[in-house]
Structure 1
């Protein structure tokens, strides 16, 4: 009895507790440490994996006499599931996510084998062996906690309340009993094993169901009426490059004082550079729902009831490709994946858990070359870039870190803001390399066709005298959030049979919401639904207000001209409202 009471009075066995936690954390921690050391992602996933690993302490706290066997059983499960995430990071340098599960399930066995085997190297075998040895050595240090039962039970309760109860209550208070609250709660667990597989698969199933519903609706749409093509059955390759978060006011091609687009500047004589185009929405999904379809502010749900650019080009007899460096099967990006699945062939390059992870657009160049080499005589290739999306420092390799000081930086940008301001310009510089490389690759293939590049929306990055405006906020719009690049390059073969002199049209006020009309006009298509008054290159073009805002809230719609347009940077006395930082992937 005295011995039992003595144990009850003992303090915490801190060393034993530390070994237990280290063992459980190890299976998520190794990959998370590698992610931090390589700068692939921010700290959030590391923190969540660290906290969630504490949940595995609960069973050994409740049954201390079976600590060794319980820890061993849990460890085997964690080890097996962690091998997937660790191996994926070793091969691709990305954090495992539901997007990877999408790729696995949407590919046949041969494609899946190629997907994982393409970069498999011999050193992964010793890496796995060393990793497994590390887990075994830590497990040998695991022992029953020499603390009293009451202390162990109290700690178990604290862990349940802090790691499950508090997050659940917090999300309930923020979002109520909604699916959004459940999704956010699940997201707290996703960075840790085995939850990255459990939560990832659950997300995949939900988004797959949503995507299939959208695709079924798209398949039922009636074709465009009385389509006629000026060059029916003639070989042609057309390329649509969709950028991300790129404000043209930060491009030297558009007069910015820093040389952020040197390669496009060199090609300027070959380009038609339109300088008065804006996006209807400052968010990717909402913008592209209009940009890629007949939807607009008067018909916001038109993306569900009208054909897309992809449908249109397939009706015209084109083989279609979609190459994307954006995330795929996430709740927000399901619409993007739906557009991609309308094409004949898809290439998904970005399977990171978070959109703001390190990912370079140079990855699109190889699959783009492969698509160009496809034997189909008539091709549409859509390339969707990650562009200059937050976090900007993750958008370019080290050799593109050109802007590091205050040279050319407006005087209102503070020392604290300088690194972000410079990293955005460096991201624009790398985006210039990627877009110009696509043009050069396209030109080298000697195509009969054209390439059109535009961004989905812009981005405010301390462009105002206020100095605090960064990101995108539709409720408090500023010009940089909407001003986008819009350029067209055409091959010599295309120019021989199609007009490419748009000099008198370059400054026309235009909304990318009407892109499908311009694209059809460029491609030489005509059909009953085509409105040439909405084509930027048509003699029938009609000047319209550049409407921005949420069409589901008509009172929020305004003419872009109401926002004081800034050339490069506003005058120091111009003031705009502060915007919250936009961290989402869209």
Structure 2
């Protein structure tokens, strides 16, 4: 029993230590009000309500058992875990989890977890039927903790109010909501329970959506080459006028500029300038003006699957969350899925180069027909976390200053330079994919399009982020690369692509154009929407600004003017 006792003491110590470390080690921005007080008062509230230490121990046991994993993640990434992380672990096998933690990290977590399991058993047995002193003390704790929680919540909101009043109307920037519930989720206790519940709830919702779509069929057929590799690359927050391929004065696309067999689509817009709304329009037949989170049809992933392709979804973005779940439902259609980034948007994590490495592994399998979606993190804020140090070329950058907000006017130049560095790194990633496909003997091509652009604060423009429906956030870069084997069998299609490269198109063209170019046919795929077809027709490009408008009729010459 002595071993159990020491393990129990260790568990209690770990529980306290991880709570403290969450505030000391994490580099996320908490509100000015000390949220550790909420953890304390919630704990007192739980103790006062339950009353018996035996049951209190069982309530706290899951947090104690997860403490070693939380500690490792906190130490490595300097931020608490997330529902997204639990989604990755649920999608991973044991070998992939060990690779993520590293052998030593896995050994540490497994050892502490084992001790923790014994410790929890001892704590629950030792506590027995002990009660929390007298009823009067329990009542006092209850009244104290309940009133304190109400007070802390109000103080938190009041503390944040001046900051809220000073913000612009950047509705979809990456600044987190100041709602106290959002901040509490960042704590260890009770935040870890909220994050676990968030994962379970999102997964249940996704399963319901997938069940509703289960019977949908495109009835696709394949008329292309016996063997083929098709890659769809979804970019993130990439602004077209910051690409030197589109005339930007800085050389942000030095590698792509050297590559032959590249088609640059000159005039593409997205109907939405937020990821969760724009990506579904790009990869399915979802109407441009539909604001519904659920679309009753499947995506291009299932379309290619029906045509005999083995399908993959490889993402450097999150699995679950307010902005990700509408996309995750489409990713679930793939034969195999890989989420490579264990971190959230707000901090450092895996860079987009990991997508190329995973693609190389897949191509080494030598499958007959392969369709791969690569979902990049691209130029998502915080820009300094999106590229390695050797691509910190344009200076001064955000790496030269302390933590700054996207809204900061004093760091305007650093923000702009770091954004350009993200484009420079995207250039490297895309050129690496092109080199991989160039080395393939089978016909292969990729189609890249960014989900939306980004507003960058300038001397004549106070807007930043996305969600403003400006030219900068609605006009997106898009390129197509094809290898020599593809050109040899599809020279006519390539010539039509080149001749249509300057046509007015929207991201809706990706679904149709990608399918026709690959030789995938279905009754629902109209050829007049495919860039590689003789009958291609330009359509009115509707976008969602302050209201639904025709982009070409409403567009202003000013980059900063919302539509």
The change in CA–CA distance for 1:158 and 1:129 in structure 2 (over 3 A counts) is farther
Q: Which has the larger radius of gyration?
A: 1
The change in CA–CA distance for 1:218 and 1:70 in structure 2 (over 3 A counts) is closer
The change in CA–CA distance for 1:77 and 1:123 in structure 2 (over 3 A counts) is closer
Alignment partner of 1:44 is 2:16:
no
* Selected match of 1:434 from 429, 433, 456: 429
The aligned counterpart of 1:116 is: 98
CA distance in 2, matches of 1:372, 1:385: 18
TM-score scaled to structure 1, two decimals?
0.74
**Contact kept? 1:293, 1:303, Cα under 8 Å:** no
Alignment partner of 1:467 is 2:461:
yes
The aligned counterpart of 1:161 is: 150
What SS class does the counterpart of residue 122 from structure 1 fall into?
helix
Q: Deviations over 1:201-245 (max 9, x none)?
A: 211221112111221122211323xx443326x011100010000
The aligned counterpart of 1:584 is: none
Deviation of 1:385 (Å)? 0.4
TM-score scaled to structure 2, two decimals?
0.77
Deviation of 1:540 (Å)? 0.9
Q: CA RMSD in A?
A: 4.2
* Selected match of 1:481 from 465, 469, 473: 473
The change in CA–CA distance for 1:442 and 1:195 in structure 2 (over 3 A counts) is farther
The aligned counterpart of 2:520 is: 525
CA distance in 2, matches of 1:100, 1:60: 27
The change in CA–CA distance for 1:404 and 1:521 in structure 2 (over 3 A counts) is same
* Selected match of 2:253 from 258, 261, 285: 261
**Contact kept? 1:81, 1:194, Cα under 8 Å:** no
The aligned counterpart of 1:11 is: none
Deviation of 1:321 (Å)? 0.2
The aligned counterpart of 1:144 is: none
CA distance in 2, matches of 1:324, 1:247: 20
The change in CA–CA distance for 1:332 and 1:59 in structure 2 (over 3 A counts) is closer
CA distance in 1, matches of 2:14, 2:232: 50
Alignment partner of 1:53 is 2:43:
no
Point out the more displaced range, 521-530 or 75-84: 75-84
What SS class does the counterpart of residue 104 from structure 2 fall into?
coil
Point out the more displaced range, 497-506 or 239-248: 497-506
The change in CA–CA distance for 1:343 and 1:122 in structure 2 (over 3 A counts) is closer
CA distance in 1, matches of 2:490, 2:261: 15
CA distance in 2, matches of 1:49, 1:83: 22
Deviation of 1:288 (Å)? 1.5
The aligned counterpart of 2:393 is: 402
The aligned counterpart of 2:317 is: 326
* Selected match of 2:223 from 223, 230, 237: 230
* Selected match of 1:515 from 504, 510, 519: 510
Alignment partner of 1:100 is 2:85:
yes
CA distance in 1, matches of 2:94, 2:108: 23
Alignment partner of 1:243 is 2:238:
no
CA distance in 1, matches of 2:557, 2:373: 30
Q: Paired residues, what number?
A: 502
The aligned counterpart of 2:172 is: none
**Contact kept? 1:49, 1:191, Cα under 8 Å:** no
Q: Which structure 1 residue ranges, 5 or more long, are not aligned?
A: 1-21, 37-41, 133-148, 175-181, 407-412, 580-586
